Amino acid sequence: MADLSVKIAGVEFSNPLIAASGTFGFGREYAEFYPLEKLGGISCKGTTLEKRDGNLPPRVAETPSGMLNAVGLQNPGVDVFIKEDLPWLKQQNTVVIANIAGNTTEEYCAMAEKLSDTDVDMIEMNISCPNVKSGGVQFGTSCESVGAITAAVRKHCKKPLIVKLSPNVADIAEIAKSAEANGADALSMINTLTGMRIDINTRRPIIRNNTGGLSGPAVFPVAVRMVWQASNAVKIPIIGMGGISSWEDAVEMLIAGAQALQIGTVLFSDPYAPIKITEGINEFLDKNNIKSVTELSGTIKPW
């Protein structure tokens, strides 16, 4: 049995597998399959200062090797999360990451402040949601805006701060550097890629929001490339995600430069995927006489 534990920004995870925000709710549903302590951590559903109802349905469409979603940040609001979900989550013996999104810098700061006074282990700042009119990706697509919001939230955030990056940018390395320079403790990447499907009979987009975020195996090579580029550009740890579906994908993402992993879309076809992937990583490490999963990170030998 290899050592699967990883440390991100001072926070210890029992293994590198973290449930990705938006795919796992606040954990209660998947806790009906297995104890959540099997996961290294949970990144909770994106939370806003006030309750949001989200977009009209349909909110999902399958695509070749993936899916589009446009939920639109439906959530009960940060106060309800703190009062009703966090106490339960903290009993599950896994790292709890709050995921925050907002319309304005002030909203992000207010949420970071509120969450800093709670038991939450880390805060993941979502500046990359492609599915809301405001309060998402517009903060995440230029170095200036990423730097500005990271610096602002940093002042109010007493917890380790993860900045979740959008892949819908020209130069991910520059964006990553801007987040690091302005106080991010870690990066998580990638959020979904903006996409679209159209019903050829009705000529209507399948998703009511017209466009949605693409996830699943289709985006995996893009995610590996971006994690590699970002990890070459920054010193802070990277939580890699985007289409990880098997233990082989997980190992590949670690080798590309990730220190921990988030998985999401694969849960919809296999709710047990995090457990299977963790077991697969362990077997790979044992087979290759690697004592700790941390030894894999960034060991890519680029041509």
Partner 1 sequence: MRYDAQPFEILENTRIADGIFDMRVKNDVIAPLAVCGQFAHVYVPSKTLRRPISICDKQDGVLRLVYQVKGEGTRLMSQMKKGDSVDILAPLGNGFKIEQGKRYCFIGGGIGVPPMLYAAKQTENPLVITGFRTSSLIILQDDFKNIGAELVLTTDDGSAGRHGFVTDVLKEKLGEFDEVCACGPTPMLKAVAALCAENNKPCQVSLEERMACGIGACLVCAVKIKRDGRELTLHVCKDGPVFNAEEVVF
Task: Report the catalytic residues.
Answer: 129
Residue 269 within binding range of partner 1, rule CB under 8 A: yes
Binding piece for partner 1, criterion CB under 8 A, among 50-58, 131-139, 149-157, 275-283: 50-58
Q: Are β-strands 193-195 and 66-69 bridged in parallel, bridged antiparallel, or unpaired?
A: unpaired
Q: Which of residues 21 and 231 has its CB atom nearest to partner 1 in the complex?
A: 21
Cβ at position 70, least distance to partner 1 in Å = 9
Residue 59 within binding range of partner 1, rule CB under 8 A: yes
* Among candidate residues 129, 52, 124, 117, the one with its CA nearest the CA of residue 82: 117
Cβ at position 295, least distance to partner 1 in Å = 32
Q: Please, are residues 189 and 239 in contact by the beta-carbon 8 Å criterion? A: yes
Q: Please, are residues 109 and 120 in contact by the beta-carbon 8 Å criterion? A: no
- The secondary element (H helix, E strand) that includes residue 213 is strand 212-215
Cβ at position 64, least distance to partner 1 in Å = 9
Residue 66 within binding range of partner 1, rule CB under 8 A: yes
For 48, the token pair is 């806003």
Residue 71 within binding range of partner 1, rule CB under 8 A: yes
Q: Which of residues 55 and 128 has its CB atom nearest to partner 1 in the complex?
A: 55
* Among candidate residues 201, 164, 209, the one with its CA nearest the CA of residue 184: 164
Cβ at position 273, least distance to partner 1 in Å = 11
Cβ at position 260, least distance to partner 1 in Å = 21
Q: Which of residues 167 and 243 has its CB atom nearest to partner 1 in the complex?
A: 243
Q: Please, are residues 186 and 238 in contact by the beta-carbon 8 Å criterion? A: yes
Residue 139 within binding range of partner 1, rule CB under 8 A: no
Residue 221 within binding range of partner 1, rule CB under 8 A: no
Q: Which of residues 126 and 182 has its CB atom nearest to partner 1 in the complex?
A: 126
Rounded distance between C-alpha atoms, residue 260 and residue 293, angstroms: 9
Residue 110 within binding range of partner 1, rule CB under 8 A: no
For 293, the token pair is 């999963």
Residue 201 within binding range of partner 1, rule CB under 8 A: no
Residue 65 within binding range of partner 1, rule CB under 8 A: yes
Work out which of 117, 134, 171, 272 binds partner 1, going by CB under 8 A: 272
Work out which of 12, 37, 50, 62 binds partner 1, going by CB under 8 A: 62
* Among candidate residues 268, 208, 212, the one with its CA nearest the CA of residue 243: 268
Please give the distance of CA 6 from its chain centroid, rounded to a whole number.
Answer: 16
Binding footprint of partner 1, residue count (CB under 8 A):
36
Rounded distance between C-alpha atoms, residue 6 and residue 259, angstroms: 7
Rounded distance between C-alpha atoms, residue 139 and residue 108, angstroms: 11
Residue 271 within binding range of partner 1, rule CB under 8 A: yes
Q: Please, are residues 126 and 100 in contact by the beta-carbon 8 Å criterion? A: yes
Q: Please, are residues 6 and 119 in contact by the beta-carbon 8 Å criterion? A: no
User: What residues make contact with partner 1 under the rule CB under 8 A?
Assistant: 22-25, 29-30, 32-33, 45, 53-63, 65-67, 69, 71, 74, 206, 216-217, 265, 267-272
